[in-house]
Amino acid sequence: MSNINPVKPSNPKKSFEDALSMTAHRVDDCLANLLTTGEGSTDVSTAERVPDRLLQAMRHAVLGGGKRFRPFLVEQSAALFGVAPERALSAGGAVELIHCYSLAHDDLPAMDNDDLRRGQPTVWRAFDDWTAILAGDGLQALAFECLGAERCHPDAGVRAELTVMLARASGGLGMVGGQALDLEAERLGDGQAQTLDTIRHLQSMKTGALIVFSCEAGAVLGGGSSAERAALRSYGEKLGYAFQIADDLLDVEGDAATVGKAVAKDADAGKATLVSLMGLDAARSALTRTRDEAIAALDVFGGRGDMLRQAADFVVDRRR
């Protein structure tokens, strides 16, 4: 894979999965190194340590597996501009830290009240509520430390730009805002009033914004033109939407096979989904259409965009 335009491999799906797995290893190593006492920084005096219980909770939140799909998007969009994977690692690690902190907080009893994630006890279950809240808070700070530090990119202008982008994607206008809308619909009883537009808007904030950040971050790291950035933003928006349709379909189809009435269950909970509003068949065709639109957004990159095209297929095909 050292050529800029590699010969198409005989089994592109296998090659995609290998690449995704290599990224996951790199990201796991990077995050494990950050989450040691002293947070891996070289300029730390030995007196400075993250308290042990807090550190263990932060590690639990971050190092429990995960496909590291967002860092993969950062890496692959950066690769379009010739940026080596290692140079995309701080930005990829930062977005993954934000993703992991949001899971630790979303799982809390005060929020979604979840016991398990990826087959493991959630952070508050393994520790307690206050530790899970503080671990999430500490992970958010660490994400911004990653972006600001010199190893992220030699040009401080790039680091500052990524900081603003990630802050906006993860804050009240993005991820946190989407989670607030989602809980509002569920808790304050206006879930039944949701339309396809309001759900799309909510999801574009809650999950879409970090995916768009991940795709655009590569162009920022690699000095892409504004047209290239716009193309990657557009790809990211479509990919995020496809991701959400696939997620909703998976819930329904997964449950339908075992329980037989998952759609009714969602409706009883007062929680509209893309699938409940569109219907199964329309959702399935929206999924493939959106995948095709995501892929079309990459036309400007020619053959260089193949890995991101396969990422769109991966989102559509995912089974967990």
62 binds a second copy (CB under 8 A): no
Of 147, 211, 272, 311, which one interacts with a second copy (CB under 8 A)? 147
114 binds a second copy (CB under 8 A): no
Looking at the Cβ atoms of 145 and 292, the one nearer to a second copy is 145
59 binds a second copy (CB under 8 A): no
| Segment interacting with a second copy (CB under 8 A) among 6-14, 141-149, 251-259, 277-285 | 141-149
Looking at the Cβ atoms of 25 and 151, the one nearer to a second copy is 151
141 binds a second copy (CB under 8 A): yes
Looking at the Cβ atoms of 87 and 291, the one nearer to a second copy is 87
133 binds a second copy (CB under 8 A): yes
Give yes or no for a contact between 217 and 143, defined as CB atoms under 8 angstroms apart: no
HEC string of the chain equals: CCCCCCCCCCCHHHHHHHHHHHHHHHHHHHHHHHCCCCCCCCCCCCCCCCCHHHHHHHHHHHCCCCCCHHHHHHHHHHHCCCCCHHHHHHHHHHHHHHHHHHHHHHCCCCCCCCCEECCEECHHHHCCHHHHHHHHHHHHHHHHHHHHCHHHCCCHHHHHHHHHHHHHHHCCCCHHHHHHHHHHHHHCCCHHHCCHHHHHHHHHHHHHHHHHHHHHHHHHHCCCCHHHHHHHHHHHHHHHHHHHHHHHHHHHHHHHHHCCCHHHHHHHCCCCCHHHHHCHHHHHHHHHHHHHHHHHCCHHHHHHHHHHHHHHHHHHHCCC
Looking at the Cβ atoms of 180 and 256, the one nearer to a second copy is 180
Of 60, 105, 238, 291, which one interacts with a second copy (CB under 8 A)? 105
What the block records as the tokens of 280 is 């199964």
Of 134, 250, 282, 296, which one interacts with a second copy (CB under 8 A)? 134
**Contacts of a second copy in 149-208 (CB under 8 A):** 149-150, 155-157, 159-164, 166-168, 170-173, 176-177, 179-181, 183-184, 187
249 binds a second copy (CB under 8 A): no
145 binds a second copy (CB under 8 A): yes
Of 71, 138, 224, 305, which one interacts with a second copy (CB under 8 A)? 138
The residue ranges that bind a second copy (CB under 8 A) are: 38-39, 41, 44, 48-51, 53-55, 58, 101-102, 105, 108, 110-111, 128-131, 133-134, 136-138, 140-142, 144-145, 147-150, 155-157, 159-164, 166-168, 170-173, 176-177, 179-181, 183-184, 187
